[in-house]
Structure 1
Amino acid sequence: MFEKVKRMLIGRPMKSTEIEGEKLSKFKALAILSSDALSSVAYGTEQILIVLMAAGAAAMWYSIPISVAVLGLLAILIVSYRQTIFAYPGGGGAYIVAKENIGVSSSLIAGGSLLVDYILTVAVSSSAGTDAITSAFPELHDYRVLIALGMIVFLTILNLRGVTESASVLAIPIYLFVVSIFVLIICGVFKYLTGGAVASAHELSATVSNVSLFLLLKAFSSGCSALTGVEAVSNAIPNFRKPEEKNAAATLMMMGIILGIMFTGISLLAYWYGIQPNPKETVVSQIAAATFGRGTLYFFIQGVTAIILFLAANTAYSAFPLLSFMLAKDKYLPHMFMVRGDRLGFSNGILFLSSLSAILVIAFGGHTENLIPLYAVGVFIPFTLSQLGMMIRWIRVKPSGWQFKLLINTVGMLTTLSITLIFITTKFSHVWMIFVFLPIVVYGFFRIRKHYENTADQLRIDLSLDKPISKGNTVIIPISGITRVVLNTVSYAKTLSDNVVAVYIGFDDESIQKMEQKWEEWDPGIRLVVLKSRYRSILRPLLKLIQTVEWKKSEEDHITILIPQFITKHWWENLLHNQTSIMMRAYLIRNKNVIVTTVPFHLKR
């Protein structure tokens, strides 16, 4: 039954040779990898205005120069990451750059920051999409958590079906969003220039005495949340069709141009229309209402905005599994993240990302706006380390034209470092937990690596010295009665060894006497050992017997425990039976000198 549901949801298994067909064209890659960055248009300007409102409505003028500064940083990042793509065409972004040029610890800080950032991206995006829906339909506000969780489940299933299929589905709403925002900007600017809209009362030359440098820096750092997701293309280069690096670089440039135009347009319209942040209505919603009224176009823009905010999470679904794969390949994450699923995607990474994101949504009750500064810091740390790593690379390698490349990355590093420090200074109450959580994540990476190294040391053999040793085998069969399951197990045990013992554990003298009589009558050709348990425990007496045999036989024999178990025809019938065999196996498997094996007997009806 599970297999049928799985096939219905994610489709047929794909051959390994089909992986080339899962590569992305520039058109699809732009949709699937830029959804996070493009969706920030829906809340980037709003984050600036929320901070400026502390100084009054007249301070809204400062949103224009702040937006210009954000655009300048966007240009720096786009050019810098374009250089990273060509320098490291294998993907991995900040993690690979830091590992190759700075050191392991720095690379793990970058990798850990990005993994946390992707988890936060899914939680914040699904909640932001819910906000867009509840802005248009306030009656749905009480169901925000369920709506967000539903979208996480939808994206999980979609990505489990494969990169190409998810890109084909998601490209339509993402490009609809881009077109609708461009239409909104064009119509909004036209309406303002022709006097059809009430202009903002604030003059460009206005000065506000109570606007401090601290407030401006805080507003600037909030606006920089619009730049999250820019690094996703450099992380996911292996997902592109050949030539991978050229297609990735072109996609990155297209994303930067589109994002820059949309962010500029929304910021200008918000200022011209005198838009002020409203907890019950987003800035984009207010601009659309002022431009078109609350008619068909308004609801269309709100609809595609909600969809793009949901789909912003899909950038994380593309980048998180790939980054997890690279960390797992270096033995800093469990090997399960290296395994491709039925549809050739890294399905364990997808499921892990979904689970942690859903936990965050539930924990915050769908109100994840306080996480925006946290995940912005989480992405600016890798930004800074990536730029620093590229600086070191240019100085070390000195390729043609390296001085200009070094200048670009130096400006990028100083800028992103400044933004990181601004975030920490202005929003410390929101981001302090990253200084607790990130060291724990990095420590976990080192512990995982140490485990794999210890395991490899203990499993490694010397081919010239280490040879198999021939030993005997003492087989112990725990039984609860004389049945066909036991008959099947005894028959199998006799093929393994001549030294087979059955063990019956009774709770009273009467049951023990009955078993001894039946066994003598049956006479299967092996010895029966009867133990009495005064405290109705099966595992403790059995373990004592095993330890006794182990002490006597460990030098000359293997000790094998054969556990009889019948398998019901239908899965639900298992619930009707005690699962003693499962508990016994889980308990005994930890004994280092004992081999535990289950001998199944399949019921036919």
Structure 2
Amino acid sequence: MIKRALLGHPVATAEEMQERLPKKFALPVFASDAISSTAYATEEILLALVLAGAAAAAFSIYIAIAVVVLLVFVALSYQQTVHAYPNGGGSYVVSRENLGLLPGAAAAGSLMVDYVMTVAVSVASGAAAILAAFPSLAGDTAAHPDRNRILICIGLIILVTLANLRGVRESGRFFALPTFAFILLCGGLVLVGLVRWIAGDLEAHPAATGGATLQGMALLWIVLRAFSGGCSAMTGTEAISNAVPAFKPPESKNASITLGIMAAVLGFLLLGVTALGQVLHVTPQEENTVLGQIGHAVYGGGFFYYALQISTMAILVLAANTSFTGFPRLASVLARDGLMPRQFMNRGDKLVFSNGIIGLMVAAIAILVIFRAKTHSLIPLYAVGVFSSFTLSQSGMVVRWFRLRTPGWRRRAVMNGVGALLTGVVTAVVLVTKFTHGAYIVLIAVVVLIGAFYTVRRHYQRVARYLEPQNEDQLERLGQLAVSRLRTTVVLFVSQVNELTARSLALGRGLSPDDFHATTIASDPERVKALQRTWAEMEIDVPLLVVDSPYREFTRPAVEYVRSLRPGPKHTVTVIIPEFVVEHWWENFLHNQNALRLKAALLGVPWVVVVSIPFHIGVQTESQDE
């Protein structure tokens, strides 16, 4: 009841197309992160430049132009990726396919860290805006200086998590209004401000004077730091290429158009806000943001100013939504390739990757608690991973064009090559300028994730080796096994064909050769198709029955099917549940535990006999020794 109240009614697999997003909803879902960076990107540029003296602020517009030029190249490069990979061409997919497993794992690890940091930074910034507007919410800051801020952040993350667990279409509607409100109010700010400036009707702040004046290499270092800060505007650019399957058909075309719209809006707002900040002589202040100062100068202290502040607060919080769409999809692809636990492949009642969403929620809350939800502590860790994944992705596309040599491949290779070169330079700049401020933590986290990916992969490969049939003729001889006279219907639930399946089939035919059902639950249509092909190729003399599961469940359809098999009161149903026992306790978390759930569900059915066939991974069984 609580689950239904929070998440709504489940969505059948057949209704998946209805859950896909049109461009008008895809933009707020996948672009809120990038567009929201307008609220702090200009401020990050100015925070670095003021260290070089008041005159250095004049560099802000040139740095913004450089960031927008980089944005254009990255957007054009990712548009090519969207068309080349219509099933989702994130940095991991492109890097692994074209550069190999290690670069792919590095790209995936970098993106996963960046997704977590995006949630943490966005929510911490939103909480700071809330506390600035309503200081009383901070509570007793002397006794508990960070408690209320952390609790607000946790509450906001849970809110965004619940919105995403309700489904892609519903979250798109939920996030549309705040995102479009910010675009309209911030875009109006730029247009009204420029018109008033041209008309001479815009009162600028007094120009700052004094301060340290740097030249030569010191000034260059400050400019590079400002550029790396401005590049935070580009985080989230890759989200659309990761989520092409979430668009309505034609998927690639709609994703490409949405990516172009996002880049145009972001570029316009970043240039406009930075230009207004320069002509108004705005400098960063503790009590008000740069965008807030510009809004007050252009809109005055009336309705539109407060509307801008509220929409800014809202989009900063909702920017986390981009990560909640990108992270679960990336985790599902990694799980499909055996680099993450298989549970991340499972889609929940609302056709979303629920485990990935919950995993991101837990990771983001942990980061916020560790860093006390302080934005200035989180910013140095932000955007480091995304540019390395940009570089790997674009390099992979260059290799792809040279390998396939499709019409126009040279032009495309040049475009992706330029994108790889530019993002590679930015990666180096960001690493160098932010290394001592926390970038090293990101590097350590990425290395740890790569190690975890390889550990999970080795485990699954090891399990697959142990489950391989030891005798190639064994499956073909299953129909010739001894006949049992037991009065029972025997059911075997099958997910794949391997050594454990062979033993289970042998036992099932022995128990009830005339009333034996090999069954699979269609919770994953692609897996079922692959199983049916293998079943036919192996010529197994037992029909394979497929039980439909429109909501991608396993346990409930399995139990309902078992209940439907009992022909009379004196008849029993024997359910054979093959399962393997891993060598280490932690390896249990890498498997779905469907067998355990099914046994628990059948425990209360008196006429059902459950036969468990354990297969110990890492232990040579007697049959193998023979």
Q: Same fold (TM over 0.5)?
A: yes
Q: What is the 5 A alignment of 1:81-230?
A: 81-141=78-138, 143-199=148-204, 209-210=214-215, 212-230=219-237
SS of 2:236's partner is: coil
1:434 aligns with 2:445: no
1:26 aligns with 2:23: yes
The residue type paired with residue 165 of structure 2 is L
Q: Per the alignment, do residues 197 and 350 of structure 1 end up closer, same or farther by CA in structure 2, a change over 3 Å counting?
A: same
How many matched pairs?
A: 476
The residue type paired with residue 181 of structure 2 is L
Q: Deviations over 1:51-82 (max 9, x none)?
A: 01111222111101111100100000010000
Q: CA deviation at 1:201?
A: 6.1
Preserved contact between residue 110 and residue 386 of structure 2 (Cα < 8 Å): yes
Q: What is the 5 A alignment of 1:367-382?
A: 367-382=374-389
1:465 corresponds, among 474, 477, 486, to 474
Q: Percent identity?
A: 41
Q: CA deviation at 1:202?
A: 6.0
Aligned match of 1:318: 325
Aligned match of 1:449: 457
Preserved contact between residue 185 and residue 269 of structure 1 (Cα < 8 Å): yes
Aligned match of 1:255: 262
Distance 1:209 1:378 in 2: 30
SS of 2:383's partner is: helix
Aligned match of 1:566: none
Q: Per the alignment, do residues 221 and 5 of structure 1 end up closer, same or farther by CA in structure 2, a change over 3 Å counting?
A: same
Backbone CA RMSD of aligned residues: 2.5
Preserved contact between residue 113 and residue 445 of structure 2 (Cα < 8 Å): no
Q: Per the alignment, do residues 373 and 412 of structure 1 end up closer, same or farther by CA in structure 2, a change over 3 Å counting?
A: farther
1:415 aligns with 2:422: yes
Distance 2:92 2:118 in 1: 18
Q: CA deviation at 1:233?
A: 0.4
Distance 1:338 1:200 in 2: 54
Distance 2:203 2:328 in 1: 48
Q: CA deviation at 1:280?
A: 2.8
Q: CA deviation at 1:136?
A: 2.8
Aligned match of 1:60: 57
Distance 2:3 2:406 in 1: 51
Distance 2:129 2:166 in 1: 27
Distance 1:469 1:117 in 2: 59
Distance 1:292 1:26 in 2: 31
Q: Deviations over 1:262-307 (max 9, x none)?
A: 1111101111111111233211111112222333222111101000
TM-score (norm 2): 0.73
Q: CA deviation at 1:600?
A: 6.5
* Structure 1, 130-139 or 424-433: larger mean CA deviation: 130-139
Preserved contact between residue 339 and residue 346 of structure 1 (Cα < 8 Å): yes
Preserved contact between residue 144 and residue 366 of structure 1 (Cα < 8 Å): yes
Q: CA deviation at 1:118?
A: 0.7
Q: Per the alignment, do residues 464 and 221 of structure 1 end up closer, same or farther by CA in structure 2, a change over 3 Å counting?
A: same
1:288 corresponds, among 290, 295, 308, to 295
Distance 2:224 2:324 in 1: 32
Q: CA deviation at 1:377?
A: 1.1
Preserved contact between residue 94 and residue 111 of structure 1 (Cα < 8 Å): yes
Distance 1:140 1:262 in 2: 31
SS of 1:106's partner is: helix
Preserved contact between residue 44 and residue 222 of structure 1 (Cα < 8 Å): yes
Preserved contact between residue 52 and residue 59 of structure 1 (Cα < 8 Å): yes
Q: What is the 5 A alignment of 1:531-550?
A: none
Determine which structure has more spread, i.e. the larger CA radius of gyration: 1
Distance 1:348 1:101 in 2: 28
1:362 aligns with 2:345: no
Q: Per the alignment, do residues 171 and 326 of structure 1 end up closer, same or farther by CA in structure 2, a change over 3 Å counting?
A: same
Distance 2:52 2:434 in 1: 17
Q: CA deviation at 1:42?
A: 0.3
Distance 1:322 1:130 in 2: 27
Preserved contact between residue 53 and residue 214 of structure 2 (Cα < 8 Å): no
1:231 aligns with 2:238: yes
Distance 1:361 1:190 in 2: 41
Q: CA deviation at 1:469?
A: 11
TM-score (norm 1): 0.75
Q: Per the alignment, do residues 233 and 600 of structure 1 end up closer, same or farther by CA in structure 2, a change over 3 Å counting?
A: closer
Aligned match of 1:279: 286
SS of 1:34's partner is: helix
Q: What is the 5 A alignment of 1:277-356?
A: 277-356=284-363
Question: Structure 1, unaligned stretches of length 5 or more?
Answer: 472-585
Distance 1:51 1:249 in 2: 34
1:41 aligns with 2:22: no
Q: CA deviation at 1:14?
A: 1.6
Aligned match of 1:7: 4
Preserved contact between residue 40 and residue 226 of structure 1 (Cα < 8 Å): yes
Question: Structure 2, unaligned stretches of length 5 or more?
Answer: 140-147, 485-580, 586-594, 606-626
Q: Per the alignment, do residues 254 and 470 of structure 1 end up closer, same or farther by CA in structure 2, a change over 3 Å counting?
A: same
The residue type paired with residue 130 of structure 2 is I
Distance 1:415 1:202 in 2: 34
Q: Per the alignment, do residues 432 and 30 of structure 1 end up closer, same or farther by CA in structure 2, a change over 3 Å counting?
A: same
Q: Deviations over 1:469-508 (max 9, x none)?
A: 999xxxxxxxxxxxxxxxxxxxxxxxxxxxxxxxxxxxxx
The residue type paired with residue 408 of structure 1 is M
Aligned match of 2:532: none
Preserved contact between residue 123 and residue 320 of structure 2 (Cα < 8 Å): yes
The residue type paired with residue 458 of structure 1 is Y
Preserved contact between residue 33 and residue 232 of structure 1 (Cα < 8 Å): yes
Q: Per the alignment, do residues 91 and 297 of structure 1 end up closer, same or farther by CA in structure 2, a change over 3 Å counting?
A: same
Distance 2:214 2:3 in 1: 62
Distance 1:394 1:340 in 2: 33
Q: CA deviation at 1:405?
A: 1.2
Q: Per the alignment, do residues 300 and 457 of structure 1 end up closer, same or farther by CA in structure 2, a change over 3 Å counting?
A: same
Preserved contact between residue 67 and residue 231 of structure 2 (Cα < 8 Å): yes
Distance 2:338 2:380 in 1: 30
Preserved contact between residue 192 and residue 199 of structure 1 (Cα < 8 Å): no
